[in-house]
């Protein structure tokens, strides 16, 4: 290899020297020998990417343009960066190129192959790259010369690189989706579920305190309490925390009034139970003493106790409640919904542990309790007491008997007193028998007997069958069907007046009047007077009684029904019959409720007005009262024992039977129902006494006398101004 020239190199575009002569650089050979020299770095830079020099490429392009007559944009003819010429890769060490850039056949002594590696053109090159060089057409292969088999070299494909843009887009979308999901969830929580989560948080801090509503009171007509609720305490035990049952029971027994053994049994552990009542309705001072003992497992809490100031006063009317203030019997049960209040509550936020106190400014809501309404009865407490005392004393003369007494205001239908015997203490109902707690005036079903004769006489007067002056012969007995009906006071066929028939309670005379009246009209007046249906006085379980339907009448019924047999009625129903007579023939429904007092504002609501209907004309009612007055006026009359000193009394005695489920009971039911003053009646008193031995006749009339006398004095009714009329039993 000849030595490298020391001349400076010539730049490819300016022709300056860069280490070789012009001729050597332009022709690519050795100027001294004329042989193509070995290409150096300078020669390699002089070639284009296709293996031609820049000059050769320009000359070749100029010649092509002259032949075709086309000119190209000189800016587009730039081949590339002149400072980045193509490198010539030599196989065999020498290049075989001509000035024009055409490849000539190499000498047979050299088998060198020239390969060029094009350089990437720069975007600011002024010359356009030359078109690709076409290979000369191959000469047909000679048949006698086998084709040279060129080795096939398959260039390996480079691995496909990931696209960063696609990866970036995918990642961006994924991040945006995550943020969108989080944002939507936050909006949902803040806008939609906020109340629910806030409420759940508040619930954990809320404390609820019940505000019990007191039960309404039951008052008499003057406002005096017959039953009322008072605040109390209940004492309870947690058996799982009680340490010494016997020692605890001994400390509590004198305070609660409960035996030690009973308390110890209640505190006995039973499974996982953590609550057991020890006492209900404990007075507040006594409850404070129990709290002061600080006994393990013993607690005290607010309670309500039903207080009955009178004990047994009107107990059969008022009834009682359970320890949970639920009405069980009497008016307490009948008007339980009205008397029961609506509990309130207080809900507030409080801390936990030692900070268990209302949080200032926290949530707080109070629903006030609504106390129950109070019932104001028509009962007069003082009169009720006296009636009960009288009934009790009179009933003491009989053994195993049942008594009922009713005092009514004939003009208004108000029940002023309603007593039963036996009775009980409503404050301690557990100590009584169920039969002691029945209200006899509304549940005591009897055959009323002769007190029913007032209905027969009244219907006959109203229908014009008889007049107040009617007289008729009365036999000692009469037969109806297969039954003979007789009189106790024998008339022996003499003519008797209507007052005489009533005074001596003539069965025969009454039956004969009923025969003239007729069956259907008698049944009609029984209904008008209120028999056969409950009075609706307000007591639960009131009996309706029963009238014998016309189709069930037998031959004997024409004799039994007019005198008060084969008829089922209650003492209150029969008292309403006589009140109708006393009220000038107008029936007024008996009732016990006067008004209702609102538990919140004290607003008073009168009870519904009673049902009224005319039964008799005032004239016929007055005539009937006069007839009934003979019962207490005529000598040897049946009701002489019912006279009230200073007052004229109209009434009637009766003797009937007691019926239990339609079955006649042994003994008799004696009764007396009367009104006073007879000339202008104000009050009606009814007394019914059933005794197994039949001693009621000696009890009913005297009991009426005492009760009516006290009632007239209690209400300051002046004595009768005139004397009772003179009655002729057997007129001439």
Active-site annotation, residues: 450
Who contacts 381 (Cβ-Cβ below 8 Å, separation ≥6)? 220, 222, 224, 226, 310, 313, 314
Residue 434 is classified by DSSP as G
Question: Quick check: 99 and 54 in contact, CB under 8 A?
Answer: no
Cα 312 versus chain centre, distance: 36
For the four alpha carbons of 332, 333, 334 and 340, in that order, the dihedral sign comes to: positive
For the four alpha carbons of 476, 480, 481 and 485, in that order, the dihedral sign comes to: negative
Compute and round to an integer the Cα radius of gyration of the chain: 64
Question: Quick check: 349 and 359 in contact, CB under 8 A?
Answer: yes
Ramachandran angles phi, psi of 493, nearest 5°: 80, 0
| Closest listed residue to residue 532, CA positions, set 558, 562, 564, 570 | 570
Question: Quick check: 453 and 508 in contact, CB under 8 A?
Answer: no
Coil, strand or helix at 575: helix
Cα distance between residue 385 and residue 403, in whole Å: 15
Name the percent of the chain in helix, strand, coil, to the closest 5.
30, 20, 45
Cα distance between residue 475 and residue 484, in whole Å: 12
Cα distance between residue 648 and residue 642, in whole Å: 10
Cβ atoms within 10 A of the Cβ of 140, count?
6
Angle, helices 571-582 vs 618-633, to 10°: value is 110
Length of the chain measured in residues: 732
Strands (E) across 42-98 are located at 87-90
Residue recorded with tokens 């009922």: 404
Residue 53 is classified by DSSP as B
Cβ atoms within 10 A of the Cβ of 93, count?
11
Cα distance between residue 218 and residue 334, in whole Å: 12
Ramachandran angles phi, psi of 224, nearest 5°: -75, 135
Beta-strand pair 612-614/415-421: unpaired
Question: Quick check: 576 and 408 in contact, CB under 8 A?
Answer: yes
């Amino acid at each position: 290899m000849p030595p490298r020239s020391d001349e400076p190199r010539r730049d490819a575009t300016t022709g300056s020297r860069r280490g070789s002569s012009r001729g050597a650089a332009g022709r690519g050979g050795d100027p001294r020998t004329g042989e193509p020299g070995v290409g150096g770095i300078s020669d390699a830079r002089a070639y284009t990417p296709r293996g031609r020099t820049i000059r050769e490429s320009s000359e070749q392009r100029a010649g092509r343009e002259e032949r075709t007559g086309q000119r190209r944009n000189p800016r587009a003819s730039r081949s590339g960066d002149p400072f980045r010429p193509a490198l010539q890769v030599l196989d065999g060490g020498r290049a075989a190129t001509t000035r024009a850039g055409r490849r000539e056949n190499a000498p047979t002594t050299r088998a060198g192959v020239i390969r060029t590696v094009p350089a990437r053109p720069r975007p600011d090159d002024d010359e356009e790259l030359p078109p690709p060089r076409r290979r000369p057409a191959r000469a047909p292969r000679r048949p006698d010369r086998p084709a040279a088999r060129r080795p096939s070299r398959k260039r390996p494909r480079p691995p496909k690189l990931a696209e960063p843009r696609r990866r970036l887009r995918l990642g961006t979308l994924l991040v945006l989706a995550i943020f969108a999901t989080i944002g939507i969830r936050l909006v949902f929580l803040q806008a939609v579920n906020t109340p629910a989560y806030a409420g759940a948080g508040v619930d954990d801090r809320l404390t609820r305190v019940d505000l019990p509503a007191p039960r309404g009171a039951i008052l008499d007509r003057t406002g005096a309490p017959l039953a009322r609720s008072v605040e109390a305490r209940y004492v309870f035990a947690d058996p799982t925390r009680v340490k010494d049952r016997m020692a605890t029971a001994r400390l509590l027994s004198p305070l609660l009034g409960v035996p030690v053994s009973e308390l110890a049994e209640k505190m006995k552990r039973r499974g996982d139970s953590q609550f057991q009542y020890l006492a209900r309705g404990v007075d507040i001072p006594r409850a404070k003493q129990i709290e002061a003992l600080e006994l393990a497992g013993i607690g005290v809490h607010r309670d309500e106790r039903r207080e009955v100031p009178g004990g047994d006063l009107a107990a059969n009317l008022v009834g009682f409640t359970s320890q949970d203030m639920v009405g069980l019997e009497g008016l307490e049960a009948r008007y339980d919904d009205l008397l029961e209040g609506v509990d309130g509550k207080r809900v507030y936020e409080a801390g936990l542990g030692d900070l268990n106190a209302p949080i200032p400014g926290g949530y707080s809501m109070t629903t006030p309790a609504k106390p129950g309404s109070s019932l104001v009865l028509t009962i007069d407490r003082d009169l009720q007491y006296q009636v009960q005392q009288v009934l009790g004393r009179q009933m003491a003369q009989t053994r195993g008997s049942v008594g009922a007494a009713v005092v009514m205001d004939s003009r208004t239908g108000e029940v002023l007193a309603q007593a039963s015997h036996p009775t009980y203490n409503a404050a301690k109902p557990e100590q009584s028998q169920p039969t002691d707690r029945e209200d006899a005036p509304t549940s005591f079903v009897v055959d009323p007997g002769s007190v029913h004769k007032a209905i027969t006489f009244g219907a006959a007067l109203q229908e014009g069958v008889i007049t107040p002056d009617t007289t008729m012969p009365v036999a000692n007995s009469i037969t109806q069907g297969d039954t003979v009906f007789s009189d106790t006071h024998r008339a022996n066929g003499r003519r008797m007046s209507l007052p005489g028939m009533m005074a001596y309670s003539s069965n025969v005379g009454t039956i004969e009047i009923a025969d003239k009246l007729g069956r259907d009209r008698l049944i009609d007046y029984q209904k008008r007077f209120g028999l056969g249906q409950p009075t609706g006085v307000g007591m639960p379980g009131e009996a309706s009684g029963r009238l014998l339907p016309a189709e069930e009448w037998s031959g004997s019924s024409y004799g039994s029904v007019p005198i008060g047999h084969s008829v089922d009625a209650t003492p209150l129903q029969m008292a309403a019959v006589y009140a109708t007579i006393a009220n000038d023939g107008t029936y007024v429904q008996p009732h016990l409720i006067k008004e209702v007092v609102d538990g919140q504002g004290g607003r008073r609501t009168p009870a519904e007005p009673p049902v009224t209907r005319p039964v008799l004309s005032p004239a016929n009612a007055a005539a009937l009262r006069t007839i009934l007055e003979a019962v207490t006026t005529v000598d040897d009359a049946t009701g002489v024992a019912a006279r009230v000193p200073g007052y004229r009394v109209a009434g009637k005695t009766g003797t009937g039977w007691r019926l239990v489920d339609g079955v006649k009971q042994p003994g008799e039911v004696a009764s007396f129902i009367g009104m006073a003053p007879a000339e202008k009646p104000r009050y009606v008193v009814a007394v019914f006494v059933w005794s197994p031995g039949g001693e009621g006749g000696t009890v009913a009339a005297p009991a009426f006398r005492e009760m009516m006398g006290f009632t007239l004095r209690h209400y300051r009714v002046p004595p009768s101004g005139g004397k009772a009329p003179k009655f002729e039993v057997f007129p001439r």
